Amino acid sequence: MRLDEKLSGDTLTHSIYYILLQAALFYGQGVTIQQIMDITQKSRGTIQKRLDQIPEKHIVKIRYKQFYYKLNMLILKEPLMK
């Protein structure tokens, strides 16, 4: 099953999930909110609101000098929503 078939929500939320998936696969520490803003061309508030709506178990949040986010790959073995 494809990731987008498991998700509900709007296009931006889907985009954020794919950005977090890429961060988990290709970037060790993840991506910052600023990087997500640059990719999506959305404001910090909009991105933060969407991240807050994503269940905590779906995201790995790492604190260095700033927060980095990536998808928790273990959730791909189970249904994503509810």
So what's the pLDDT on residue 41?
97
**What sign for the dihedral angle of Cα 8, 71, 76, 4?**
positive
Based on C-alpha coordinates, what's the Rg of the chain? 12
So what's the pLDDT on residue 1?
44
Q: What is the DSSP string of 11-37?
A: HHHHHHHHHHHHHHHH-SS-B-HHHHH
Backbone angles phi, psi at 8, to 5 degrees: -115, 170
Q: Which amino acid is at 38?
A: D
Domains and CATH numbers, the chain: 10-73 (1.10.10)
Q: What is the pTM of this model?
A: 0.77
So what's the pLDDT on residue 43?
96
> Which residues of the chain carry a pLDDT beneath 50?
1, 82
